[in-house]
Structure 1
């Protein structure tokens, strides 16, 4: 059985891991990743399109001239994307989040296991917690970059707008990232917190082991002979 201190520390690590898992699920399920405003001239009228979407679905509305016509419609992101860099980036983001989800789940399993037992296999101990949280954190970091690149460089919102209503050039584009995007920073912080907790446990364990070895090192040599 593990010591009380180990059980407590790994219980906290389990809590941060399970919170990370829940937030990744939330990020995948919500559609408030980005809100975009696209303005252009269509014929003789000025048109403004508003898009709010996530990885899978979203909604858009159109305002023509000074609010004369307004329309709001839901859409599936995958249905509006053609095969190409934009769709590939979107698939890559989903794939990275799924990897992060699995890593967070495995981290919660490993930390829970260490809270109630002392595993014999090295990888099932702190090394496993380090590995899964590192993988999750790296995937989240890459997700933040790839999604922003897809929106800003590949102009994901404009491609979606082209599919529902042809956007004439030139156009104005402004993007605002929602809570579904920024909350991923919390996932990364939770991964770091889990690693820090396990590091503290290993440091304390190392210090305790050194203290146990010290009496033997400082014992009189003549005493050791008998």
Structure 2
């Protein structure tokens, strides 16, 4: 049976991993990733569109010159993606989130298992927890970067806007604001880091205790050891 210190520390690490798993599910389910305000101008009309969307679903509304408003309408993000580059980015982002979700689940399982037992295989111990949390954190970090690149460099919001209501063509003005579904992923990275830090502290405490137990034998007189 594990010591009380180990059970407590790995139980805390397991709690953080479960929280990470839940937040990733929330990120995948919500559509508050980014809100974009796009102003299209032409010789005949000026249109301001507001889009709020996530990985799968979104909503848009528009206001035409003289205050004529188009009510909020839902749309499927994938249905409006014709650009292969934009679609490839979105697929990679979803794959990374799924990998992070799986890694968080495995991390929760590994840490929970270590809280109630002392596994003999090395990978089932702290090494496995380090591995899964590192994979999860790296996947989330890449997701943050790739989504921002897809929105800013690939102009995802403009492409979606042009497919929703056929507003006047360019020139346009674009303003992006990232929502809680995007920024909450930073919390996932922090939870992964906290899990690793807890296990590192446990490993250091265990190493120090082992050294203290070996010290009396090292400092004992040689004559006493002989007898």
TM-score for the superposition, normalised by structure 2: 0.98
Q: Confirm or deny that 1:24 pairs with 2:24.
A: yes
- Report deviation, 1:44: 1.5
- Report deviation, 1:43: 4.7
Which residue number in structure 2 is paired with residue 193 of structure 1?
Answer: 194
CA distance in 1, matches of 2:171, 2:38: 10
Q: Confirm or deny that 1:86 pairs with 2:94.
A: no
Q: Is the 8 A contact 2:17 2:107 kept in 1?
A: yes
Q: Is the 8 A contact 2:42 2:170 kept in 1?
A: no
* 3-state SS of paired residue (2:38): strand
Which residue number in structure 1 is paired with residue 53 of structure 2?
Answer: 53
- Report deviation, 1:70: 2.4
- Report deviation, 1:83: 4.7
- Report deviation, 1:42: 4.4
Unaligned runs of 5+ in 1: none
- Report deviation, 1:68: 1.8
Note the 1:99-118 alignment, pairs <5 A.
Answer: 99-118=99-118
Q: Confirm or deny that 1:218 pairs with 2:211.
A: no
CA distance in 2, matches of 1:51, 1:116: 48
Q: What's the RMSD between the two structures over aligned residues?
A: 0.9
Which residue number in structure 2 is paired with residue 169 of structure 1?
Answer: 170
Which residue number in structure 2 is paired with residue 129 of structure 1?
Answer: 129
* 3-state SS of paired residue (1:63): strand
* 3-state SS of paired residue (2:46): strand
Deviation larger for 53-62 or 64-73: 64-73
CA distance in 2, matches of 1:102, 1:54: 20
Unaligned runs of 5+ in 2: none
CA distance in 1, matches of 2:119, 2:42: 67
Which residue number in structure 1 is paired with residue 141 of structure 2?
Answer: 141
Which residue number in structure 2 is paired with residue 95 of structure 1?
Answer: 95
* 3-state SS of paired residue (1:174): strand
CA distance in 2, matches of 1:37, 1:164: 14
Q: Confirm or deny that 1:67 pairs with 2:67.
A: yes
- Report deviation, 1:8: 0.3
CA distance in 2, matches of 1:197, 1:190: 11
Greater than 6 Å deviation, 4+ residue runs: none
CA distance in 2, matches of 1:218, 1:66: 90
Matched length: 226
* 3-state SS of paired residue (1:72): strand
Which residue number in structure 1 is paired with residue 38 of structure 2?
Answer: 38
CA distance in 1, matches of 2:67, 2:52: 19
* 3-state SS of paired residue (2:67): coil
